[in-house]
Amino acid sequence: MGGEPVIVGWAATAGVADTALVRYVDEVVAEADAALHRSLEAAHVVGSVANGDVRGQASDLDLLLVVGRRLDPDLLRRAGERLADLAEDCPMRGLEAVAYRRDVLARPAYPLPYELNVNGGRSIPRRVATGGDPGFWFLLDVAAAREHSLTLCGAPVRDLVGPVPDGAVLRALRDSLRWHRTAGGTGPDAVLNACRAWHWLEHGEWLSKTAAGEWACRRTGTPAVVRAAVAARRAGNDADLDARAVTRFAEEVLGRVERHDRHRAGAYCTPRTAPTEAT
């Protein structure tokens, strides 16, 4: 994409009144296009800003970037370092930007390859990667972006990202919940991401973390840790919750995902038997 990307209307669509954030997004996308040697074809705000769930300094700025071809690894690393430098000035908790090839997004599969993953900011450890990160993040982020995104430049997400197969989503959810169990901590996100998984299982659509937690709170028998996670999210507090309660809830949702996956596999793999004829 030649020339400086022009960002029009996304802030109004999202109800974003923070002019510093608008200017910052504009700068990051323009710098990404330049650092990637004008190979950027589209850029989108996704995550909490796109789904209206920004919670102060508990929320990141998530960007989905699209390039048209495989890029030189050295070029990608240099571009990533430049974006990581810019992340230090992010007016939110931090910046998370991921670049994908257009052909990869057109036919999403699990694990979903990415070209570049950049994390950084005042409250996020700096990371620039062209591979090696847990694959579930990317497949689930792209699946949710089909429903919640704000176009900065280029084609809309739904024109770029093909339908994500249910089987791929289930495997990514399973791996996500297993990761949260062992390495994901015991903060509100561990609980609310499990709520998002649970809601997707039942309704096939993606909610924000807060909305998914509120939905789960309305279910009979939902444990108190979910209400605690929702309250913490509303307050912008990411402190740890009761570790055993978080683990129990994540295990419960993981069980639901695994049962759903087995049922789905059985529906496809179990041979149909002909009706028994009366004798």
Torsion of CA 177, 180, 181, 186, to 10 degrees: -130
> If you average pLDDT over residues 25-29, what whole number do you get?
95
Is the confidence at residue 7, as pLDDT, over 80?
A: no
191, 229 contact by CB (below 8 A): yes
Among the ranges given (71-85, 102-116, 196-210, 253-267), the one the predictor scored with the smallest mean pLDDT: 253-267
Dist. CA 107–CA 136, nearest whole Å: 16
pLDDT digits (tens, 9 = 90+) for 256-273: 999 999 988 776 544 333
Dist. CA 14–CA 191, nearest whole Å: 25
Residue whose entry in the numeric block shows the structure tokens 């909490």: 48
SS (H, E, C) the chain: CCCCCCCCCHHHHHCCCCHHHHHHHHHHHHHHHHHCCCCEEEEEEEHHHHCCCCCHHHCCEEEEEEECCCCCHHHHHHHHHHHHHHHCCCCCCCEEEEEEEHHHHHCCCCCCCCCEEEEECCCCCCEEECCCCCCHHHHHHHHHHCCCCEEEECCCHHHHCCCCCHHHHHHHHHHHHHHHHHCCCCCHHHHHHHHHHHHHHHHCCCCCHHHHHHHHHCCCCCCHHHHHHHHHHHCCCCCCCCHHHHHHHHHHHHHHHHHHHHHHHHHHHCCCCCCCCCC
Torsion of CA 167, 171, 173, 174, to 10 degrees: 140
Dist. CA 69–CA 66, nearest whole Å: 9
Q: Could you give the angle at the alpha carbon of 202 between the alpha carbons of 176 and 174, nearest 5°?
A: 15
What pLDDT shows up at residue 180? 85
What pLDDT shows up at residue 267? 64
> If you average pLDDT over residues 238-245, what whole number do you get?
93
What pLDDT shows up at residue 268? 52
Dist. CA 1–CA 40, nearest whole Å: 5
Residue 136 corresponds to which amino acid? Answer: F
Torsion of CA 156, 46, 184, 229, to 10 degrees: -130
What pLDDT shows up at residue 278? 34
Beta carbons within 8 Å of 124's beta carbon, 6+ residues apart: 60, 87, 93, 94, 95, 96
What pLDDT shows up at residue 245? 96
pLDDT digits (tens, 9 = 90+) for 204-232: 999 999 999 999 999 989 999 999 999 99
Is the confidence at residue 277, as pLDDT, over 90?
A: no
Between these two residues, 25 and 7, which has the higher pLDDT value? 25
Between these two residues, 24 and 10, which has the higher pLDDT value? 24
Give φ, ψ of 120 to 5 degrees.
175, 170
